[in-house]
Amino acid sequence: MLALDNLHAHYGLAHVLQGVSLNVAKGEVVGVFGRNGVGKTTLIKTVAGWLAPTSGSIKFEGAEIAGLASDRICRLGVGLVPEDRRVFPGLTVEENLRLGLMQSPGRSRSESKQAIERIFARFPRLAERRTQMGTTLSGGEQQMLAIARVLAGTPRLLLIDEPTEGLAPMVVDEIFELIAGFRADGIPVLLVEQNVLRALEVCDRFVALERGAIVFSGSARSEADRGKLIAAIAV
């Protein structure tokens, strides 16, 4: 589904991504771990088209998408849940979700209504707050809204950046249950997450980043690989 080959990216003179290569298969959750400032969020933004790569290849379902505009990448089926959630101020929960429908244009009014109701069935807490302003939700509810908004566009690949940061343990459990559900539904996920031990429970594979390069990769099911990962990213 996703193949990165020797990917480089810069912020001005700062060489942030330095030759990253990785793959994500259908129905697979791949974790990206590392200390702060090693390039994890930059990797997600580069795949999503928020940052143009300096060089290297990004292929989605076999087609090159490196350098494409972010809206075009989104319409191809790559959904991004950003670290800062980006809930639109001045819009209700339902209006935020309806903006998510723009990721897959061409739906009839009836199809759009059905898509929204399916989202509310999956996120009953959001259904209870459908007329509430999105920015007045709790942090956990805003994270749910950010995920639900992307799902409204029926993405074929999810990029999720730090979904549990600053959330209560109960909400963290719900977020990881959702990610496990995506894997069960066959939706591949590239996941950036600081809660490494919990994230490993829903990941199939992982990579560890250091100074913009992958220094270690392994299986989330291997105790030896998990131990090496913790050692590789320990402060």
pLDDT tens-digit series, residues 84-126: 889 999 999 999 999 988 887 777 888 888 989 999 999 999 9
Domain 1-77+158-235 bears CATH identifier 3.40.50.300: yes
Provide the pLDDT for residue 230. 87
pLDDT tens-digit series, residues 190-224: 999 999 999 999 999 999 999 999 999 999 999 99
| Mean pLDDT to the nearest integer, 141-162 | 94
Query: 231: Cβ–Cβ under 8 A, 6 or more apart, which residues?
Result: none
Task: State yes or no: pLDDT of 189 exceeds 90.
Answer: yes
CB-based contact 58:23 (threshold 8 Å)? no
Provide the pLDDT for residue 231. 85
Distance CA 96, CA 161 (A): 19
pLDDT band at 173 (very low <50, low <70, confident <90, very high): very high
> Which DSSP symbol is given to 15?
E
Residue 144, classed as helix, strand or coil, is helix
Lowest mean per-residue pLDDT among 15-29, 44-58, 101-115, 215-229: 101-115
**What crossing angle do the helices spanning 139-151 and 169-184 adopt, rounded to 10°?**
10
Model confidence, pTM:
0.93
Provide the pLDDT for residue 134. 95
Beta strands in the chain (DSSP E): 2-11, 14-24, 29-33, 55-60, 63-64, 78-81, 157-161, 189-192, 205-210, 213-219
| Mean pLDDT to the nearest integer, 130-149 | 95
| Mean pLDDT to the nearest integer, 136-150 | 95
Provide the pLDDT for residue 102. 83
pLDDT band at 235 (very low <50, low <70, confident <90, very high): low
Provide the pLDDT for residue 203. 97
Residue from 220, 191, 192, 156 nearest 26 by CA? 156
Percent of the chain with pLDDT over 70: 100
Provide the pLDDT for residue 85. 87
Q: Where are the domains of the chain?
A: 1-77+158-235, 86-155
